[in-house]
Structures are given as C-alpha cells and as structure tokens.
Amino acid sequence: MKRVVIAVTGASGQIYARKIIERLRSVGGDGSDNTCSVQTELIFTDTAKNVYHDELGEQPPQPLVNNNNYYNRNASGSNAADVMIIIPCTMGTIGRIASGATTDLISRIAEVQLKERKTLIIVPRETPYSLIHLRNLTTLTEAGAIIAPASPSFYMHPANLEQLADNFVSRILDLAGVAQLPSNYRWKTTAK
C-alpha cells in the first residue's frame, strides 16, 4: 500500500485537485485496473479552501489535515509518505520549499520527501515564469522533485474540461506510480 499526501495550495486550477482526489479515493486497492492500493491524506492551505470553493462551487473534500500543525507522521523522516503531490502549487510555496523555509505542514512534508529521497511531484500553476520561479524550479529538480506544470495534452481530443483535467491527472498518477496511464490517454501516431 502506498501512502500519498495530496497538498493543495491557493493557485488557480483547483479542478486538478478535485480530479486527483476523486481518482485516488476511487482506487479499489486490490491492484485491479493497473492501480496499486493507496491511502491518502489531504492538506489544503487556507487560501486553497477559498479558491477551491470559488472555482468549483463546492467545499473541499473532507477530512483535511491541519496545515498549521506539524504534529503529523508525514512531517518526520522516520515515517515519510511514499508520495507527495502538490496540486496546484503556488510559486510562493515553491519558493519556500526551494529555500528550505518550512512555514507550514505542506512545506515541511515536502522538505521531508526531498531529504528522504521520496517522490515529490509539484504541479505549478503560473505563467509566465520569472527568473526567480525558474531558479526555484531548477533547485527543486536538482534536489529530486518532479516538476509537472499543469500542461494538459490536446492530442487525445478532449470533449470537455473534465476530460482534459482527467488526462492530466492520469499522467500525474502514472508519475507517482499509483496507476498506469490508460492507453486512450497515450499519444499514438496514425498512418496517413
């Protein structure tokens, strides 16, 4: 069983957070349909709760871990999570993690993931990137994080926003080693 921490910050793109939480909670845990057994913990920043409600018209899923309390098993290197996914991730959060300035549970768990060489996937939501953003992203990549900008693919011809988000989230779950990317979301060449 994999323990996965989903952290949500106040960036736009909350549809990705909702979709990945739905997908992880629907994983049966028996290894069928190319998935592995997963236990999730959710952490939202205060701003993320507001942006989630604003963009999606609903409250964040429950239960949530208190982001202002470090008393959490994932905050210790002796009990690090298998995977942490920060989706979407603000550049402020990225800057704090890159500088080692842990100011909340999300940044502390990210620090633990890096120092323990565990999987940390960061989905930044910003455009364009400033030089400071790029340097912070480079620092995190060099430290072992996977930077996966919220750049959905269009080659699978999504019919709506939900399909577009589902395709991107499927890619993140594949990177996390939780579920293989479905064949219908893989790029295919066609004979002309």
pLDDT in tens, 75-126: 999 999 999 999 999 999 999 999 999 999 999 999 999 999 999 999 999 9
CB 60 within 8 A of CB 8: yes
pLDDT in tens, 165-179: 999 999 999 999 998
Question: Is 2-185 a CATH 3.20.20.120 domain?
Answer: no
pTM of the entire structure?
0.93
Could you tell me which of 13, 43, 16, 10 has the C-alpha nearest to residue 109?
Answer: 43
CA angle 5–87–103, rounded 5-degree value: 70
Question: Could you tell me the strand order of the sheet in which 2-8 lies?
Answer: 38-44, 2-8, 83-89, 119-124, 146-147
pLDDT in tens, 5-30: 999 999 999 999 999 999 999 874 44
Q: What is the mean pLDDT of residues 121-144?
A: 97
The CA distance from 51 to 166, in Å, is 20
What is the DSSP track for 63-79?
--B-TT---SGGGSGGG
pLDDT the model gives residue 153: 86
Domain layout of the chain by residue ranges? 2-185
